Structure 1
Amino acid sequence: MCVDPAPSPPGRVTRRGVLAGAAALAGTAAALSAASSAAARGRAPGRTAASAGDLVVEGGTLLDPATGEVIADAVVVIRDGRVHAAGARARVEVPDDVPRLDAHGRWVLPGLVDAHIHLNTAAEAREAVRKGATSARSGSTNFYQDLAVRELARQAPDLAPRVRAAGVFVTPDLGDTLLADPDLTALARLKDGVRSAEALRRVVGVNLARGADVIKTRVNERAGLPEQDPLAQVYSYEQLSEVVRAARRGGKGVLCHSYSERGCDDAVRAGVRSLEHGVFVSERTLHDMRRRGTCFTPTLTAIAGLADSPNPVLAERGRTYLPILKEAVRAAHLLGVPLAAGTDSSGGEIEPIGREVEFMHAAGLSALDAIRTATTGAARLLGLQEAAGRLARGFSGDLILVDGDPLADVSVLRTPLRVVRAGRAL
């Protein structure tokens, strides 16, 4: 949580391999669920994804997180998986030849964005969508599963969220991740692990060759392992800067796992795009984050989960860290630091992104601002501000229906009644 100098790993072969694996994953998952999904959507199993995605959602109360506008008796028209029109019924022309979803008595919001999640299986990807996360940023996987999930989402959008994939973790000890790509195996000879500039560039380079959208690294050890000290620093400012430079050469940003005050400061000064966890981030570093536009993804859900651990070390860690992190979130928000919601779900336990919105609200954000961390704010971090986070013309036809006013009770986001992904009602 020093390699021998060598040319950059070839992108063509490895990228072809991951796409081939992705296609197999997508085909298997789609085949397993074709009958039930087709029945639920009322069409034959053989119909292609490209011909689906038309839907009218009518009668609900529509919330636009960007403006805070609330529209009663609203209509959302989705064509080919994208929003064609959205607004008050009197102002929207409703086609007659499109399936309808009755939203009377419900609130309608854009699909939520989980900005830090680990999706290792098709089942986890499916579960994330069903719990409201129609877009997501991977926090890394061990064997490039997130790249395959990204492809699965393209081929069968109702089976996976739209994903920004991080590939494999840039961390000192890769463990079995050395087997994720042949170009990583040379790192097995290193006595001190992935620490030299050459080794750091190698891992970033393999990720870029495989088609990663972002790069994930760390500055501290893990909080979720009792034998590790989350305040112990594993990479220096100089090493983090090397990772950031290598990522930027490939046109990518970096998200950084961080806990300690010094670690957070080093990561931000090195130029990471977003700070993950960040329990002991200082006010000085928060000011620097605001100046640089560095995003804060606190993963309050994951920290709160530690408090429920049967392990006494982890439980004490969770009880101690959560109030400190909430205060950091409140301070960041007051300073104007951009915030994004992320659950840090992994290992088959997918938390609803709505729970992170609850924690954001409990940390001092208004209900609307808390919702923005899982819609417009997170979409901006992922570079999806023109596709996700709103229900406006041209945006993806992703939405959730909830049983109540989320501006009065954000907890309704934890259990969406219905999820629509690219115009497909789940």
Structure 2
Amino acid sequence: MKFLSGFIGLLLCAMITGPAATAADHKEQPHWTIIHAGTLMTDAREEVRREQSILIKNDRIEEIRPGYVMPEELDQVSEADIIDLRDQFVMPGMIDSHTHVTMEISKNSRLEAVTLTEADYAIMGVPFARRILAAGFTTIRNVGGPRDGIFALRDGINKGLIQGPRILAAGYTISPLGGHGDTNGFRHGVIEPDSGICNGADDCRRAVREQIKFGADVIKYVATGGVLSNIAAGTGQQFTDAEQRAIVETAHSMGRKVAAHAHGADGINAALKAGVDSIEHGTYLDKESIKLFKKTGAYHVPTVLAGITAAEMAEIPGTLPPASVDKARKVGPQIMEALSRSYKSGVKIAFGTDSGVSKHGINGRELELMVEAGMPERAVLEAATVNAADLLGLADEIGTLEKGKVADIIAARGNPLEDISTLRTPSFVMARGKAFVR
């Protein structure tokens, strides 16, 4: 009996301690990747380096060294994946600050609004997200869309279940009843208004808090009318000054930045006075707008591609509802001029396409349009990396390549500082330490 008791005791001890010991013995080893970069731009504000090695531990940059380093030269690395980009231009992953990744505008968009569920939109977002990532955009800010759909897509990417760019999502757009962010032109009762629709300062505070309650990373609201809404209300101010102050104050008090859709100068200026972090589009900005931009430090996210795309859609019969056609013809060409004016005046510019109006995956065309508007290539790359990271509040994580930052890295076969179009189709894309295009 004593022998049996002792045996059982040893067996129980082994059962208790065995798995822990096994887990300790088989502790997961870090995964190392070494990128050999022929030309390396670690920061768009600085000169490029030649013949560099980027050492990546799991999803973070551990070190950047001169020369082409091999694993056997490193004390802490026994083996590593070597990625040979010695004949390419390597740089930080780009950031698109204005997307709608769960949809694309088409002739069927109004029908889809009454036939698709939020789950459908989430599923549609999966291939769209992959296209955006393949285009070299490793982070996006989604400024309005089906709330449950975009949050599910964002979370699925964060968990590694879906391949796509990092997403900061706004949930529903905050809009006045009947305004640009509302669903207009349908018979009463066909579509129920979402929780982003509000009237009066107090109700607008409620709308902001509700988006945050369900998981919004950022708040987006419509300071003015818009092009693609089916309402002939023009592009002037829609929310009152008091409503805009309530939206911005509430969001900021809860730790969220605010993006304001704004075309008309009256709405742009009201939004800037309210303290927004960025103006999206900024089509009819004026001298006062420029002063307010520089005073507040807000970013201009120009979305030239959206303006050009909307103008093209206006010429294809049946693509846009009649209320949108005239607005598209007027606003489209003006957006590039607005970017030119704001850049020359020293306004901070962050890259954004309004992808979803344009096709997902051609986001890089905005780079070329920004150059056409008069921005030097280096300034465009700064807008798509350093500035966009700052706007999103992620400058400590992304936007440049340096020790401790996330390994979001892309490459091109040409030199985008000389020919920006070489980034239209990147030759290599790595997101969070994992190669997606190789």
The two structures have a TM-score, normalised by structure 2, of 0.77
- Structure 1 residues 319, 154: CA separation in 2 closer, same or farther (over 3 Å shift)? same
- Partner in structure 2 of residue 299 of structure 1: 303
- Partner in structure 1 of residue 364 of structure 2: 354
- Partner in structure 2 of residue 15 of structure 1: none
User: C-alpha distance in 1, partners of 2:201/2:231?
Assistant: 28
Q: Please report the RMSD computed on the Cα atoms of aligned residues, expressed in angstroms.
A: 2.6
- Partner in structure 2 of residue 102 of structure 1: 84
- Partner in structure 2 of residue 33 of structure 1: none
Q: How does 1:193-342 map to 2 (within 5 A)?
A: 194-225=198-229, 227-309=231-313, 310-311=315-316, 317-318=327-328, 320-342=330-352
Alpha-carbon contact 1:301-1:344 (below 8 Å) kept = yes
Q: Identity of paired residues, percent?
A: 28
- Structure 1 residues 194, 158: CA separation in 2 closer, same or farther (over 3 Å shift)? closer
- Partner in structure 2 of residue 70 of structure 1: 48
User: C-alpha distance in 2, partners of 1:102/1:339?
Assistant: 33
- Structure 1 residues 169, 226: CA separation in 2 closer, same or farther (over 3 Å shift)? closer
User: C-alpha distance in 2, partners of 1:258/1:371?
Assistant: 24
SS in 1 for 2:403: coil
Is 1:82 the counterpart of 2:64? The answer is no
User: C-alpha distance in 2, partners of 1:81/1:165?
Assistant: 22
- Structure 1 residues 336, 157: CA separation in 2 closer, same or farther (over 3 Å shift)? farther
User: C-alpha distance in 1, partners of 2:338/2:422?
Assistant: 25
The structure with more radius of gyration = 2
- Partner in structure 2 of residue 149 of structure 1: 153
- Partner in structure 1 of residue 6 of structure 2: none
Q: How does 1:371-410 map to 2 (within 5 A)?
A: 371-410=381-420
SS in 2 for 1:116: strand
User: C-alpha distance in 1, partners of 2:394/2:138?
Assistant: 12
- Structure 1 residues 319, 86: CA separation in 2 closer, same or farther (over 3 Å shift)? farther
Amino acid at match of 1:104: R
SS in 1 for 2:36: strand
User: C-alpha distance in 1, partners of 2:338/2:309?
Assistant: 18
- Structure 1 residues 230, 134: CA separation in 2 closer, same or farther (over 3 Å shift)? farther
Alpha-carbon contact 1:218-1:258 (below 8 Å) kept = yes
- Partner in structure 1 of residue 3 of structure 2: none
* C-alpha displacement of 1:317: 4.8
Structure 2: gaps of 5 or more residues: 1-27, 103-124, 184-189
Amino acid at match of 1:117: T
- Structure 1 residues 177, 161: CA separation in 2 closer, same or farther (over 3 Å shift)? farther
User: C-alpha distance in 1, partners of 2:31/2:127?
Assistant: 22
Alpha-carbon contact 1:113-1:353 (below 8 Å) kept = no
Is 1:159 the counterpart of 2:163? The answer is yes
The two structures have a TM-score, normalised by structure 1, of 0.79
SS in 1 for 2:86: coil
Alpha-carbon contact 2:306-2:332 (below 8 Å) kept = no
- Structure 1 residues 179, 287: CA separation in 2 closer, same or farther (over 3 Å shift)? closer
Name which of 121, 124, 133 aligns with 1:129.
Answer: 133
Alpha-carbon contact 2:32-2:79 (below 8 Å) kept = no
Q: Bigger shift: 404-413 or 159-168? A: 159-168
SS in 2 for 1:103: strand
User: C-alpha distance in 2, partners of 1:286/1:305?
Assistant: 26
Q: Bigger shift: 171-180 or 147-156? A: 171-180
User: C-alpha distance in 2, partners of 1:347/1:273?
Assistant: 22
- Structure 1 residues 78, 257: CA separation in 2 closer, same or farther (over 3 Å shift)? same
Q: Bigger shift: 248-257 or 139-148? A: 139-148
* C-alpha displacement of 1:147: 2.1
- Deviation per CA, 1:179-224: give whole Å up to 9, x if none: 86xxx4xx9xxxxx62122321221111111121111100222212
- Structure 1 residues 353, 417: CA separation in 2 closer, same or farther (over 3 Å shift)? same
Alpha-carbon contact 1:343-1:351 (below 8 Å) kept = no
* C-alpha displacement of 1:408: 0.5
Structure 1: gaps of 5 or more residues: 1-49, 188-192
- Structure 1 residues 414, 267: CA separation in 2 closer, same or farther (over 3 Å shift)? same
- Deviation per CA, 1:211-247: give whole Å up to 9, x if none: 2111110022221246544424321111111111211
- Partner in structure 2 of residue 8 of structure 1: none
User: C-alpha distance in 2, partners of 1:147/1:254?
Assistant: 18
